[in-house]
């Protein structure tokens, strides 16, 4: 058997072991449920990467997002024709990846308003609960956050979260570190292979439950295992709702651009400071090299040789410190010549919001939902939240890496 495949397989066990070592209650981990979910994800990774029907399905969804983006480019081209004239492949990142959010977010919100997405979320959550044996709401939430995003899902389910125990709220916080937002997928597929983006999403859903089950085992009684119905009676008029959605999308774009400019500038400034030391150390050390040193061993466990692991590790660390957009912009051209296995594990790792800023967003959102005592309890486990997000991303990358070489 290939040495690197053995590394990849052993990596999955190491990531589970790390979660076990940091568990709040090792004696009560539901290993049967964990084993079932690991098998489910093994099947999903194989189905989406090796089975022809699965591959075609993922490619079709990715192409569907690309097709929808054409409507966004028409809208952008109305006031800014010169921005879209060269075509999607030659646009600036802000135009090709971020401005389409002004179309995608309202589209998803409309689907929420008319009840399409709530229906999909409800029944996919029910299916996951039946397959994995996990509580209904945790399963429901795992799908909800992958469609809506972490803070949006928390806001929608605030009535349920208020009624939950502190330990279950912590589970929700741990899971929230591993999500994406469906409305952001359109931006991802303009920068990295869409089929890998769409493969990572279902894997993240299951892995978020796996890691939270190990890190924070919680026994849920039958009386506690219910889902509070979302009350739509007081929803605003459609066009008022749509206006709020568009404004929210605009704010999201500004936030992403602000983070990109700030983090890229700060990272470059640190590199400039490090370059001042070059004359004494005679080493060309940069921030990504320092960050990569700590993540490279984990990258090796994804089945990579040391040289590739250092590069992938630095990108992983950069993503955790900044966000996935910073990394996607930096590797967009490099992906074209990158080995298939290396590309698969790196891109899969990137498909989540697991970074330092997400921790603050989740804690801040929870403070507005739960009481002070529960909020303080969750805040004590901020390092565990970050660990959960990293482990979920590593597990998803590890599963995909098993089948792409």
Query: Measured at the alpha carbon of residue 14, what is the angle toward residues 9 and 18, in degrees to the nearest 5?
Result: 155
Taking the model in full, what pTM does it have? 0.80
> What pLDDT shows up at residue 301?
94
H-state helical runs in 78-149:
81-84, 93, 101-113, 116-132, 136-148
Q: Give CA–CA dist 40/130, Å, rounded.
A: 12
Cβ contacts of 140 within 8 Å, gap of 6 or more: 121, 122, 125, 126, 129, 227
> What pLDDT shows up at residue 14?
95
Q: Give CA–CA dist 122/139, Å, rounded.
A: 9
The string of DSSP letters for 343-374 reads HHHHHHHHSS--SHHHHHHHHHHHHTTS-HHH
Tens digits of pLDDT across the chain (405 residues): 588 899 999 999 999 999 999 999 899 998 988 999 999 999 989 988 888 777 777 677 767 767 777 787 788 877 777 666 655 555 565 666 667 778 777 877 787 777 777 777 777 777 777 777 778 888 888 887 777 777 777 766 777 788 888 898 999 899 888 877 766 777 788 788 888 888 888 899 889 999 999 999 988 777 777 776 655 556 678 778 788 878 877 876 777 677 667 767 777 788 788 787 766 666 677 776 777 778 889 999 999 998 899 899 989 988 887 788 888 888 888 888 899 999 999 999 999 888 877 887 788 778 877 888 888 898 899 889 989 999 999 999 999 999 998
> What pLDDT shows up at residue 160?
79
The ranges assigned to domains in the chain are: 3-227+235-402
> What pLDDT shows up at residue 312?
92
> What pLDDT shows up at residue 35?
92
Q: Give CA–CA dist 181/323, Å, rounded.
A: 14
């Amino acid at each position: 058997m290939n040495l690197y495949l053995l590394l990849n397989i052993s990596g999955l066990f190491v990531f589970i072991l790390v979660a076990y070592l940091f568990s709040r209650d090792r004696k009560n981990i539901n290993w049967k449920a964990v084993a079932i979910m690991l098998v489910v994800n093994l099947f999903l990774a194989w189905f989406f990467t090796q089975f022809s029907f699965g591959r075609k399905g993922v490619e079709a969804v990715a192409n569907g997002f690309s097709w929808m983006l054409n409507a966004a480019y028409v809208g952008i081209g109305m006031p800014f024709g010169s921005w879209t004239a060269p075509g999607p492949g030659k646009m600036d990142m802000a135009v090709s990846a971020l401005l389409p959010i002004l179309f995608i977010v309202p589209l998803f919100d409309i689907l929420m308003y008319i009840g399409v997405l709530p229906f999909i979320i409800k029944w996919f959550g029910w299916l996951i609960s039946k397959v994995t044996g996990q509580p209904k709401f945790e399963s429901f939430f795992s799908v909800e956050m992958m469609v809506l995003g972490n803070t949006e899902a928390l806001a929608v389910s605030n009535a349920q979260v208020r009624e939950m125990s502190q330990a279950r709220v912590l589970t929700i916080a741990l899971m929230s570190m591993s999500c994406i937002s469906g409305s952001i997928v359109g931006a991802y597929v303009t920068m990295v292979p869409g089929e890998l983006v769409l493969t990572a999403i279902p894997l993240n859903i299951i892995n978020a439950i796996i890691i939270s089950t190990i890190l924070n085992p919680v026994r849920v009684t039958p009386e506690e295992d219910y889902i509070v119905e979302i009350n739509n009676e007081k929803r605003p008029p459609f066009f008022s709702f749509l206006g709020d959605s568009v404004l929210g999308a605009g704010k999201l774009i500004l936030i992403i651009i602000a983070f990109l400019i700030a983090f890229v500038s700060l990272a470059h400034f640190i590199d400039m400071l490090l370059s001042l030391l070059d004359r004494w150390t005679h080493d060309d050390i940069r921030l990504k090299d320092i960050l990569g040193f700590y993540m490279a061993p984990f990258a090796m466990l994804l089945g990579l040789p040391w040289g590739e692991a250092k590069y992938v590790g630095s990108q992983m660390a950069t993503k955790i410190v900044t966000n996935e957009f910073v990394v996607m912009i930096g590797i967009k051209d490099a992906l074209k010549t990158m080995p298939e296995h290396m590309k698969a594990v790196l891109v899969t790792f990137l498909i989540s919001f697991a970074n330092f800023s997400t921790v603050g967003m989740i804690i801040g959102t929870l403070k507005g939902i739960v009481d002070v005592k529960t909020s303080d309890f969750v805040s004590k486990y901020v390092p565990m939240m970050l660990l959960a997000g990293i482990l979920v991303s590593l597990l998803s990358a590890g599963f995909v890496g098993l089948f792409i070489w």
